[in-house]
Copies of this chain bind each other. A is one copy, B any other.
Amino acid sequence: MGISSNRVENFECRETVLTIPAEAMLPPPPQQEEEIHKVCLPPKQTTFQKLKHKLSEVFFPDDPFYKFQNQSWLRKVILGLQSLFPVFEWGPGYTLALFKSDIVSGLTIASLAIPQGISYAKLANLPPIIGLYSSFVPPLIYSILGSSRHLAVGPVSIASLVMGSMITEAVSYNEQPTLYLKLAFTATFFAGVFQASLGLLRLGFVIDFLSKATLVGFMAGAAVIVSLQQLKGLLGISHFTSKMQLIPVMSSVFHRKDEWSWQTIVLGFIFLLILLGTRHISIKKPKLFWISAAAPLTSVILSTLLVFLLREKAPGISVIGHLPKGINPPSLNMLYFTGPQLALAIKTGIITGILSLTEGIAVGRTFAGLKNYQVDGNKEMMAIGFMNMAGSFSSCYVTTGSFSRSAVNYNAGAQTAISNVVMSAAVLITLLFLMPLFHYTPNFILAAIIITAVIGLIDYQAACRLWKVDKLDFVACVCSFFGILFISVPMGLAIAVGVSVFKILLHVTRPNTIVLGNISGTQIFQNLDRYRDASRVPSFLILAIESPIYFANSTYLQERILRWVREEEERVKATNDSPLKCVILDMTAVTSIDTSGIETVCELRKMLMQKSLQFVLANPGGNTMEKLHKSDALERFEFNGLYLSVGEAVKDISSLWKRLP
């Protein structure tokens, strides 16, 4: 065996038997001493191989083609079809029993989807009928393409709110209804294109940047804004701001007191209380989910009847009015690819696309987790994307999987995407025959339905948990909440994503450095602050750096390490300990290094050498070793201080000191 003066010339170590270099002038170590292992470079790869590996990790981390390996030609075609159209996967095994469950759940969600569809369309400043169109075509497409069995597809509150607020900033529906519709369909088209291309290009990780913390704040902010906006319907105000921020909405409410209609207020708040009550019951007893599921449609029917009967006595209650019969008209000719508003349509499409994707994927994953099946994120993105593209051709606006309706779907026993088909059929019947019945449906009931639906988005318990566990996550949450409340939806989102990214950068810019001590009787070196049975190794300062060494932190790390050394020297002086002779940098957590980082390491070595201190790296990672090697940093500084572990470094260096007093 033998000690290694880890010289750089022979980095490739294939065997454990190490050769003693001829120039080793040191006396041979005692034979019973344990072997010291060399630090190896990673196996050589060409730039192309590395790029290929990196790209496959970035785009294909789940190795989507593994199923196709070693399969016959026919089987590959079938597998390909199945992965493109999940309907081929579960379709052949579909039974009557499953169909019975799907009919029940499909009808249940239809009873929610019809009133919610009408309401959410109003949230997006669109005609109510668009909400029903959007509950008809997209669910059919999804049932063929989607891989979630419980997702209930249709318009959702957040995407409706964002689309409405963004388009209304430029165009008013009341003044230019056709242009507004064109922009809405075009934005839907771009949302679909964006979603599908995220899936196709396997860039699904983009939505990961909307962290949960951000979403909690964002959802809560949106829910508050949406609820306050519903005061328009609940109070019967006819002139209301089109802005989405807290201040103009509240000033609209209080500057229009003359428009408040007491009949609307009384009826509106009664129905709101009923709806909130049913919601509360279903939360307390999840088995009674059907109460809150049935409540919206029942309330619509009751309130419509009531308003119809009172139409002479209380003519001030505003109603939906005439709705055209018939299925979705084609809207390909409404798409808008030139002109000054194109940029707005694209921007709106991308933002609503991201938001609806985030909701859809999260909902799909949640229910897949409950039933133990997998939802492939990239495939879901394509499904949702194609569904929205198809929607934009057939007078639908942005749709995705709704959390509340999917929960009802799940509780009502949905088994496959057929429940979406059943829901579509119910919507179809409504569109063909029942539209005139909605003539007297009052606007206040739509407002009450929206408030009941969005109130659940305010998850203050989640916010408390964030505060408890991670203060910076809480800050991101609060920023997105107030951002959407006081500035605007896109700015709120941008601020929240900014805070999340800042958090990552802060961690990289100011990484932890910790002092390690040995846990006696072991080769384990641990944080001195945390482990009382860890103790300092005399004459050594062992520092662990807890981050990659990058341009963003190299200056800091250099200063900080020099300060540790200074403080250790002062401590040694004050306690009359044995003087500091060697600084070991535990590089285990230094998972990457860049050119600035390499310079810092070299610079540190130089500065510590001037103080007559040895400077040694322990367990540098493959990536780090490779870069130190390529940059000639090892050779240039005659780097002979590389060890595989802190333990071996301490053992080897102390035995050297013993032999060379």
Residues on A lying within 8 angstroms of B by beta carbon are 14-16, 34-35, 37, 40-43, 47, 50-51, 54, 57-58, 61-63, 66, 204-205, 208-209, 211-213, 369, 372, 377, 465-466, 468-473, 500-501, 503-512, 519, 521-524, 526-527, 529-533, 546-548, 550-556, 559-560, 563, 566, 588-589, 591-592, 594-596, 598-599, 603, 610, 621-623, 627, 630-631, 644-645, 647-648
Contact = CB atoms under 8 A, between A and B. Distances in A.
A51 B474 CA distance: 14
A168 to B, nearest CB: 28
Contacts of A599: 212
A240 to B, nearest CB: 34
A65 to B, nearest CB: 12
Given A62-B559, A519-B37, A211 B594 contact: yes
B61 A559 contact: yes
A504 B506 contact: no
Max chain B C-beta neighbours (<10 A), residue from A61, A212, A519, A523: A61
B63 A470 contact: no
A386 to B, nearest CB: 22
A630 B591 contact: no
B595 A37 contact: no
A1 to B, nearest CB: 11
14 contacts: A15-B532, A50-B471, A54-B510, A61-B510, A205-B510, A208-B553, A208-B554, A211-B552, A469-B598, A500-B551, A504-B504, A507-B592, A512-B591, A524-B645
Contact of A527 (B377, B533, B551, B622): B622
A64 B322 CA distance: 74
Contacts of A630: 468-469
Given A469-B627, A473-B594, A546-B621, 4 more contacts: A37-B533, A61-B510, A62-B560, A527-B622
Contact of A212 (B504, B560, B596, B623): B596
Contacts of A213: 551, 594-596
Nearest to A645: B524
A537 to B, nearest CB: 17
Given A473-B594, A530-B42, A555 B208 contact: yes
A205 B552 contact: yes
A230 B498 CA distance: 41
Q: How many copies does the complex hold?
A: 2
A592 B40 CA distance: 27
A610 B371 CA distance: 12
A509 B552 CA distance: 17
Contact of A468 (B51, B466, B524, B631): B631
A508 to B, nearest CB: 6
A554 B589 CA distance: 18
B212 A551 contact: yes
Contacts of A566: 66
B208 A524 contact: no
B548 A507 contact: yes
A467 to B, nearest CB: 9
A574 to B, nearest CB: 11
A205 to B, nearest CB: 6
Contacts of A530: 40-43, 622
A592 B511 CA distance: 10
Given A465-B631, A522-B37, A596-B211, A47 B471 contact: yes
Nearest to A551: B211
Nearest to A623: B512
Given A372-B610, A469-B631, A588-B589, A208 B622 contact: no
A523 B521 CA distance: 13
Given A213-B551, A469-B631, A551-B213, A531 B40 contact: yes
A556 B521 CA distance: 38
A212 B472 CA distance: 29
Contacts of A529: 42-43, 622
B512 A63 contact: no
Nearest to A550: B504
Contacts of A511: 591
Contacts of A648: 524
A76 B505 CA distance: 36
A603 B369 contact: yes
A466 B533 contact: no
Max chain B C-beta neighbours (<10 A), residue from A15, A40, A469: A469
A598 to B, nearest CB: 7
Contacts of A205: 509-510, 552, 555-556
A504 B595 contact: no
Contacts of A546: 591-592, 621
A552 B37 contact: no
Contact of A377 (B212, B466, B555): B555
Contacts of A598: 469
Contacts of A57: 510
Nearest to A556: B61
- The 4 closest A-B CB pairs, nearest first, are A211-B551, A546-B591, A589-B589, A469-B631
B466 A595 contact: yes
A211 to B, nearest CB: 3
A293 B552 CA distance: 35
Contacts of A552: 205, 208-209, 211, 500, 504
A16 to B, nearest CB: 5
B591 A507 contact: yes
Contacts of A531: 40
Nearest to A35: B521
Contacts of A533: 15-16, 37
A208 B505 CA distance: 12
A552 to B, nearest CB: 5
A627 B470 contact: yes
Nearest to A603: B369
A394 to B, nearest CB: 32
Contacts of A471: 47, 50-51
B504 A508 contact: yes
